[in-house]
Structure 1
Amino acid sequence: MRLLLQSFIRVGRKEPFRKSSHWVPCSQVSGMRGYASESDITASAMVYSNYGQPSQVLKWHSYRLPALTPDTVHVKFLASPINPADVNMIQGAYPIKPTFQELGDDKVAVGGNEGLAEVIAVGENVKTLKKGDQVVMASTGYGTWRTHAAGSPNDFQLLPKVNDDNKISLIQKATITVNPCTAYRMLKDFVDLKPGDYVIQNAANSAVGQAVIQIAKAWNLRTINVVRNRLNIDELRQSLTDLGATHVVTDEELGKAESKKQIKSWFAEKSPLLGLNCVGGKAATEMARYLGNHGHYVTYGAMSRQPLSLPASLLIFKDVHFHGFWVSKWAEKHTPEERYAMFEDILELMSQGKLQEPKWRKVNWEEETMKQAVDQGISGFGSGKQIILF
């Protein structure tokens, strides 16, 4: 990851993130090379130099954006969500590690992985992007909790414009790369589903689960959606049904004899060939039993933090195939053109009103508010996804 701060070095204090620290271009420091003059844009970012609890390690920093070169672009961020993976990365608990950029005696990374930006300037050699284009990050770990960025055009993925693009919200675009893409790829890549086929999934009320429901409905697929039992279960059933869920059941109902018979009657002889698991544990094992011969069971999360036990009968007699899926890994292995085609499909669904904006709440771009919001990043989902608006 190329950080915005790379043309600068701190002089004086050892605390790199205090607003009173003095930063100068590298060319003004004896013996330093690689000078790039600054632009007239003052940027700000939430950065960290060590792993730990976000409120303790995140720091606010303001600086001048490096000047545009013939081979770089400048972008301005419009919105960026706070996802659990962002928090895990700051804690050092995520499989992908950020790149810490050397700055004098210090190394820093910018927080955030997902977000929407607008291209505000392009170098004369850049042909793939132009001023006014909207982009998302080309890979995980770039750092999106900042007002501006300067980097290679390869750091950014162009978002296509589709029919009725004006009907797609800023929030939808800012949250497109994780949850909708995860749902889209799992529905598309493992089984050649036909209209009328069933998909069974747990964590159906999660952001990915809701995207699965909506995309499946748009593609004329039917869904059996498993959720945890709760006090407001009837309200939850109705909300998922309104999104397009065919059936909603609780994890307790999966294993009960009386409800098993009813669930199997929904798909008669045509058992689901695709199961999507984000929970793990006993209920996830029970869900796998509903798959038909040669079905595919895809695990993309482990919310219960319990292992997934696989009955030998599913492997031997049903030949069920078990897979793992991680959208970041998919993005690494596919070209910008393939990603562009996926975004085009998803944005078209959004423009048609078939994939709704997620429930969300605004986070103000200021240091203390950001620290509090990120600390709530794993547990604070009751009122919707937290999104920074710049």
Structure 2
Amino acid sequence: MQAIRFLEFGKPEQVLRLQPLDLTPLAEGEVRLRMLAAPVNPADLNLIEGTYGVKPPLPAIPGIEGCGEVVESRSPEFQTGDRAIVLRRAGSWATHIQVSEDHLFKLPAGIDPLQGAMLKVNPATAWRLLTGFVQPSPGSWIVQNAANSAVGRCVIVLAKRLGLRTMNLVRRGELREELLGLGADEVLLDDDSAVESLKASGRERPMLAFNCVGGESALRLMNLLGPGGIHVTYGAMARRPLTVPNGLLIFKDLQFRGLWITQWIENAPREEIRKVYGELAEALVSGELSMPVDQVFPLEGFQSAIARVQEPGRNGKVLLAV
């Protein structure tokens, strides 16, 4: 097999190497996958840099999600030819991985492997944002920033399925028509005009806000929330902290929560995980849910893939395909 590895933390373009590795015999209950595709996520780059919330033992293989085909199995749940995604970090930037059966979710037939490779993180994050903190009544509003992100797009689609309406903040006005076509109810520029627009409309305030930016954008979501609203942070694209004015705590009694999908996967009952991923997988099969792909690179082109992830103006995910 071949795998992309790093022996020390640092800039990905400097510390990553594509290296040959030996395949080891499977233990009872383990499954070997030939990897088909794996996204290059910002969290992967943070892991390599050593700035992520956890640090793996070194040497390490990046890749927090991916889709593969079973080539060998010592589990009765998986047969040769089955396709599955990894639910735990398993070093998916490789030609092959071997993992416990408990760390896999078997995909239904008909899923594009590129879409399947992106199933673990973004759709599940969107689902948990919408269902894991409060149960909004049908017709009520939620608000989110970075609405053009992969999670943001999934939120729009899944909120529509749940009968919820979405107010979506974006940095570029040209994204408006595209997101409206996806099912967004309102698309606003992520600046102070969004707050003024809501005040002028006299419309009901959202009770749920999803923040993956931080800084002024996160504060804007606080100002858009209604009294007692819940502000959930699941990312920090701007790399700026949340600053919460005293008045928003005292007079609006806002609640502040966080979401790390890895923690939910590790702690949730197995049947709950299967149910959620089963519903999300069916939405992929039907075409109701789809995530844009910016560019696909071969494993040996990982340096180009990493460079592309860090370029502005991407339209979707960058993936490695074996």
How does the TM-score come out when normalised to structure 1?
Answer: 0.77
Q: Which residue of 2 aligns with 1:136?
A: 85
Cα distance in 2 for partners of 1:127, 1:226 equals 47
Cα distance in 1 for partners of 2:193, 2:231 equals 16
Q: Which residue of 2 aligns with 1:212?
A: 155
**Identity between Structure 1 and Structure 2 (%):** 38
Does the 8 Å contact 2:294/2:314 carry over to 1? no
2:287 paired with 1:339 = no
Query: Of 73, 86, 98, which aligns to 2:44?
Result: 86
Q: Which residue of 2 aligns with 1:353?
A: 287
Cα distance in 2 for partners of 1:350, 1:88 equals 28
Mind listing any 5+ residue stretches in structure 2 that lack a counterpart? Answer: none
Q: CA distance change for structure 1 residues 92 and 308 in 2, over 3 Å: closer, same or farther?
A: same
Q: Which residue of 1 aligns with 2:234?
A: 300
Q: Which residue of 1 aligns with 2:54?
A: 96
Q: CA distance change for structure 1 residues 381 and 341 in 2, over 3 Å: closer, same or farther?
A: farther
Query: Of 224, 236, 251, which aligns to 1:290?
Result: 224
Cα distance in 1 for partners of 2:306, 2:184 equals 31
Cα distance in 1 for partners of 2:313, 2:115 equals 17
Q: CA distance change for structure 1 residues 214 and 98 in 2, over 3 Å: closer, same or farther?
A: same
Once the two structures are superposed, what CA deviation does each residue of 1:236-286 show, in whole Å capped at 9, x if it has no partner?
Answer: 1001111111001112244664x2434x43xx3x32110111112223213
Query: Of 246, 249, 252, which aligns to 2:185?
Result: 246
Once the two structures are superposed, the pairs formed by residues 225-374 of structure 1 within 5 Å of their partners are 225-228=168-171, 230=172, 233=173, 235-254=174-193, 257=196, 259-262=197-200, 264-265=201-202, 268=203, 270-366=204-300, 369-374=301-306
Mind listing any 5+ residue stretches in structure 1 that lack a counterpart? Answer: 1-42, 101-107
Does the 8 Å contact 1:169/1:357 carry over to 2? no
Does the 8 Å contact 1:191/1:273 carry over to 2? no
Once the two structures are superposed, the pairs formed by residues 47-58 of structure 1 within 5 Å of their partners are 47-58=5-16
- Give the secondary-structure state (helix, strand or coil) at the position aligned to 1:323: strand
Does the 8 Å contact 2:305/2:320 carry over to 1? no
Once the two structures are superposed, what CA deviation does each residue of 1:286-309 show, in whole Å capped at 9, x if it has no partner?
Answer: 321222232211011222222222
How many residues end up aligned between the 2 structures? Answer: 322
2:126 paired with 1:183 = yes
Cα distance in 1 for partners of 2:287, 2:299 equals 29
Q: CA distance change for structure 1 residues 271 and 280 in 2, over 3 Å: closer, same or farther?
A: same
Q: CA distance change for structure 1 residues 345 and 256 in 2, over 3 Å: closer, same or farther?
A: closer
The structure carrying a bigger helix percent of its residues is 2
Query: Of 160, 168, 171, which aligns to 2:114?
Result: 171
Does the 8 Å contact 2:192/2:220 carry over to 1? no
Q: CA distance change for structure 1 residues 378 and 310 in 2, over 3 Å: closer, same or farther?
A: same
Which stretch shows the higher mean deviation, 53-62 or 181-190? 53-62
2:68 paired with 1:117 = yes
Which one has a bigger Cα radius of gyration?
A: 1
2:4 paired with 1:66 = no
